[in-house]
Structure 1
Amino acid sequence: MNAIPAQEIKRRGIAAVDDLIAKGDLHVIRNNQPQYVVLSEERYQELIVAEQEAYYARVRASLEDLKEGRVKRGTADDLIKELKLED
């Protein structure tokens, strides 16, 4: 991932970002630490879609587990006992 000091953005403005964002995502460095990430709108939308697809896949898998009887039903107390979280 590309990196740029925050001071460079302050000095050059958005042109400093434009030069690097074409090469990929961009870390903004502040106080010698990465503080922010700048993404193109296209890359941002790709991440949003991927997140939604992963969420839907988890829901589908959970529903399949429920349908196939792989889900135990019980109380919170039952779960605590099963996980051996009680002393």
Structure 2
Amino acid sequence: MKTIPAQEIKRRGISAVDELLQDGPIAVIKQNRPRYVVMSVEGYRRLARGELGSVTDASAWDWIDKPAARRAHPARSKADIDAALARERDAWRDDG
């Protein structure tokens, strides 16, 4: 996903976003962190309808709103989820 600093949008206006949107959604960086995602209306509609090109395009929206995604990934216990999150956090610490 391409990124753009919020200051660039402030400086150049919507034209800065228009150029980048041709290649897909854009992460807006504010205070050195991704804060927002800007996408085309058509991209949003595809996301809302669940028309994703591949598993790697999946988002939180899919897990919340799509029963098929929940069936494909059976429910886990709170303990399983907590353990997975702990492993993920540990991996982040190791990378830093």
Scaled by the length of structure 1, the TM-score of the pair is 0.60
Structure 1 runs (4+) greater than 3 angstroms displaced? none
Q: Deviations over 1:33-59 (max 9, x none)?
A: 00000011111001101149823x379
Task: Rate the CA distance shift 1:47–1:31 in 2: closer, same or farther, 3 A.
Answer: same
Scaled by the length of structure 2, the TM-score of the pair is 0.55
Where structure 2 has 5 or more consecutive residues not aligned to the other structure, the ranges are 51-61, 72-96
The residue aligned with 1:26 is 26
Task: Rate the CA distance shift 1:54–1:18 in 2: closer, same or farther, 3 A.
Answer: same
Separation of aligned partners in 2, 1:38 and 1:49: 18
Q: Percent identity?
A: 49
- Specify the SS of the correspondent of 1:42: helix
Matching residue's letter, 1:8: E
How many residues align? The count is 59
The residue aligned with 2:66 is 54
**Higher relative contact order, structure no. (Cα contacts within 8 Å, ≥ 6 residues apart):** 1
